[in-house]
Structure 1
Amino acid sequence: MDKPEKGNPADVQMSDPGKKSGKQPVTACLICAAFFGALGSSFIYGYNLSVVNAPALYIKAFYNKTWTERYGQPIAAETTTLLWSITVSIFAIGGLLGALCVPIIIKVLGRKGTLLLNNIFAIIAALLLSLGETAKSFEMLIIGRLIIGVDSGIALSALPMYLGEITPRHIRGSIGQFNSILICLGVFTGQVLGLPELLGQESRWIHLFSFLAVPAVLQLCVLPFLPESPRYLLMERRDEAAAEKAFQRFLGKKDVSQELEEVHAEARAQDNLQAASVLQLLKSPAVRWQLITIIVVMACYQLCGLNAIWYYTNGILSEAGFASNIIPYITLSTGAIETLAAIISGLVIERIGRKPLLIFGFAAMAFFFSLLTVFLNIQDTVSWMPYLSYVCILAVIASFCSGPGGIPFVLTGELFEQSYRPAAFMIAGTVNWLSNFAVGLLFPFIQVS
């Protein structure tokens, strides 16, 4: 019987991070790979969580106008709510499709190649979303949201895999948090550009979607000049020369024999193993607890309700009693606090650890959500109660970004060996996007009720 997996053999064999590896400088090549990899991937995902929030009224008006021109009568309120829910939640269906495609694409193109190919989806989606109004087709908006969902589904599986494989063990958590930080930065950017003074106007809202092409083009310009994952090159392509050069650039040193030997040791341990399928992973007792951990954490990542806040911030704040003219500026503070919390989490994750940050984050969210429920129910009785509701919303967001917002993606790469990793990311992505879809589709109806 297989022994339970403890993590990557390379991780186990690494020397004490406080000694040799801990003194290795973080190279510019590694930072560039992490930043530009995340810019064209998780940044776009985060941007799409918030970008539909500011122009929601204009998009609904566009749906009504288009419907009236086609059918000669105004659209029913229930149909508007349904179309709007589909527009928001189909992003998650696209994400699920993208996550299901990842194992096949990364096997053919590698980690970096998959990220580069993925930019095509972002550019196509940007064109559909920005031209939908001109073409008088709300279907183009819905299809564009589906395609940008595919982009995000591929990105949220391929990027953590890439970052986990190019990063030394002692800073893997911190570099992995680039995923979370750029998600938060993307959310914040969507909120800033959605301000009435910028693109949050009836005549400009389509340009919010045109912006999607910018990070994709930037990644296309930079990532080709950075190395592929050395672990992928050595273990799957059997290209030791390319793997050695990749290690040298990422680690900033000439002698990478130790790192190569660690990967060789893992390869020898898995010589008789093919890349595991999803079914094989589900049946394997050796990784059962790792799999349960990933499924539970990924489901909680979405079902904790934070995406509902990102999707529908304006509606939530309006119902909390804030004046409509100040809501866009209040929304900005939510994006700022989540970005700050994600950065702090990235700085302390290696000292505090993954598990304590996850437990603290989810426990704090439960506490502040409970307070928020109480405050929303009594807000009509006290004039200053909406401000307490707002503080609770900020606290919920900060709690989420302190751990649950980024650690699930880091864990998926760390808990599985190379042969299990693609299937593990596919399962994690499936759970993530199905939960995301449920939140996006059901929340507007729950809110109305």
Structure 2
Amino acid sequence: MGLTFFLCFSIFAAVLGMLQFGYNTGVINAPKKEIENFMKTAWEERNGEAMTENKLENLYSVFVSIFAIGGMLGGFSGGIFANRFGRKGGLLLNNLLGIGGGILLGVTKSTNFYELLILGRFIIGVNCGLSTSLVPMYVSEIAPLNLRGALGTVNQLAVTVGLLVSQVLGIEQLLGTEEHWPLLLGLAVVPPGLQLLLLPMCPESPRYLLLTLSREDEARSALKRFRATTNVEEDVEEMRAEQRAHSQEERISMLQLLRSRSLRMPLLIAVVMQLSQQLSGINAVFYFSSTLFQWAGLDLTSAKFATIGIGAIMVGMTLVSIMLMDRAGRRTLHLYGLGGMFIFSIFITISLLIKQFFAMFQDVLDWVSYLAVIFTLAFVVFFAVGPGSIPWMITAELFSQGPRPAAMSIAVLMNWFCNWLVGTFFLRVKMLLGNYVFLPFSVLLAFFWVFTYNKVPETKNRTFEEIANFFKRNANRAPTEEDRIYGMLNCVNTTGHPGGGGPESSALIEEKLQPPAESCEEEYDYNNL
């Protein structure tokens, strides 16, 4: 199965939510000084006294961190929206938040209320949090099995495009000025506005229609539109196999998910994968790239253009990873990405130390400054190869239809929590550790690499139900009451190799207390699903 026009159109409409996330992640980087001046002026006019630097720093810190707090709330609510309104319906409702938040950001200067700036940023955060939960879920459920990896990477491509657009528009020659920065922030209304126009033309997720609502005719109709063919039996059969499991399971809450032994390992993997994205140090680069480059010795103008270089490289390397995702596999690319980031995080630390020890030699400072930029760009390259896109994708892949919304909510909540941690405390850690500020990230990257190597299975070319059955077999336990929730199914391999290649590779045997997992014809290697 290949790409069709309508599938591409639907994915484009959906990932506008991720473009919104990327745009609002990077948009406050360039106009930082202008926003601080507005806050200071508004405070002084209202209170009749000068605002201290400490108060200004705290207020701006609230402005930055409130975005991630909103993201935590939105991400945590994603599963509720997905179950109650559907993937498409949840995204459509979410656009109202995006438009409302963007309007508040755009009018804050004309009203002279910096509180609107903080409120708008919070609402945009909730909007982006919901998008990071709903968009990967929708894309993974409408994508054909053989293209699920490549199309899942489009989520991250949209994020990187949003970042790049915000960085380009934020330069002083365009909108990063004292007069135009409210327009720069207010442009956050464009992605949700466009999605509100385009998404109604797209069908709901066929999996949601069949497995959650039991509307097979509507699911078939949606599949025919996505695949541009009337022959959709292969997709329907795969969903029916999952439906046989889904018919045995109740809708799983987050509390049930946390208590489930058979779901414990996939949930742990999903959470650690999200941590490997946010605690890798990449958000320190995104949020404070201009500041970092100035620490390395660049002037402010050069630092801002180097920041644009980061955005451009992110877009280019994410395009490369789209081509590699269904060839090399998720696990392999994630290992390469984490390994490269670990190496270059060490090199960034070395370049900062050289700057410190040779501060009296201007010639040395000049080449070390550019070396620090090169190391930072290489760090970003390896992030784009794996950790940038894979955590969003693999979280949706690790779970069947029942637990998927709850799992996405928990994983995305952890992602945003770590986003908030880095955004709030990085500068304080920099003051504490000085030029060694990237070493904690190096240690974490080493841990994430070891975890991925030992615990994360390859999900390339595996159906959702094959992946779910794999974890249930590896739970290696006797049947318990939780099987009523999840559905007791075992896999009988009929193709002679792990996982087969499609729905026909597994005969799913319905519940009647099947034999333990050891009775399956083959034992699978944990790292080669």
SS in 2 for 1:286: coil
Partner of 1:442: 425
Partner of 1:50: 26
Superposition map of 1:268-347 within 5 A: 268-347=244-323
Partner of 2:385: 402
Partner of 1:29: 6
Q: 1:418 aligns with which of 383, 401, 406?
A: 401
The separation in 2 between residues aligned to 1:448 and 1:414, in whole angstroms, is: 40
Superposition map of 1:238-253 within 5 A: 238-253=214-229
Letter of the aligned partner of 2:275 in structure 1?
A
CA contact (8 A) 2:2 2:147 kept: no
Partner of 1:391: 374
The separation in 2 between residues aligned to 1:269 and 1:88, in whole angstroms, is: 44
Letter of the aligned partner of 2:382 in structure 1?
S
Partner of 1:17: none
SS in 1 for 2:82: helix
Q: 2:242 aligns with which of 266, 278, 282?
A: 266
1:433 aligns with 2:416: yes
CA contact (8 A) 2:211 2:246 kept: no
Partner of 1:10: none
Q: 1:95 aligns with which of 67, 71, 77?
A: 71
Letter of the aligned partner of 2:9 in structure 1?
C
Distance apart, 1:445 and its partner CA: 2.1
Q: 1:144 aligns with which of 106, 115, 120?
A: 120
The separation in 2 between residues aligned to 1:338 and 1:196, in whole angstroms, is: 22
1:356 aligns with 2:332: yes
Dislocated runs of 4+, deviation >3 Å: none
CA contact (8 A) 2:104 2:186 kept: no
CA contact (8 A) 1:85 1:444 kept: no
Partner of 1:116: 92
SS in 2 for 1:378: helix
- Compute the RMSD of aligned alpha carbons: 1.1
Partner of 2:56: 80
CA contact (8 A) 1:364 1:399 kept: yes
CA contact (8 A) 1:55 1:194 kept: yes
Residues matched between the structures, number: 425
Superposition map of 1:155-174 within 5 A: 155-174=131-150
Partner of 1:106: 82
List gaps (5 residues or longer) in structure 2. Answer: 359-363, 433-529
Letter of the aligned partner of 1:26 in structure 2?
L
Q: 2:179 aligns with which of 189, 197, 203?
A: 203
Rg larger for: 2
The separation in 1 between residues aligned to 2:10 and 2:40, in whole angstroms, is: 44
The separation in 2 between residues aligned to 1:25 and 1:412, in whole angstroms, is: 23
Distance apart, 1:326 and its partner CA: 2.4
The separation in 2 between residues aligned to 1:181 and 1:191, in whole angstroms, is: 15
Partner of 2:41: 65
The separation in 1 between residues aligned to 2:316 and 2:179, in whole angstroms, is: 32
SS in 2 for 1:285: coil
Partner of 1:227: 203
Partner of 1:125: 101
Partner of 1:15: none
Letter of the aligned partner of 1:249 in structure 2?
R
Letter of the aligned partner of 2:4 in structure 1?
T
SS in 1 for 2:11: helix
Partner of 1:7: none
Distance apart, 1:331 and its partner CA: 1.4
* TM-score under structure 1 length normalisation: 0.93
Letter of the aligned partner of 2:420 in structure 1?
F
Letter of the aligned partner of 1:417 in structure 2?
S
CA contact (8 A) 1:81 1:444 kept: no
Partner of 1:187: 163
Distance apart, 1:325 and its partner CA: 2.5
Distance apart, 1:327 and its partner CA: 2.4
The separation in 2 between residues aligned to 1:448 and 1:385, in whole angstroms, is: 21
Distance apart, 1:448 and its partner CA: 4.0
The separation in 2 between residues aligned to 1:130 and 1:313, in whole angstroms, is: 24
List gaps (5 residues or longer) in structure 1. Answer: 1-23
Distance apart, 1:261 and its partner CA: 2.4
CA contact (8 A) 1:294 1:411 kept: yes
Cα deviation 1:126-181 (Å, max 9, x = unaligned) = 11111111111111111111111001110001011101110111110100011000
Distance apart, 1:49 and its partner CA: 1.1
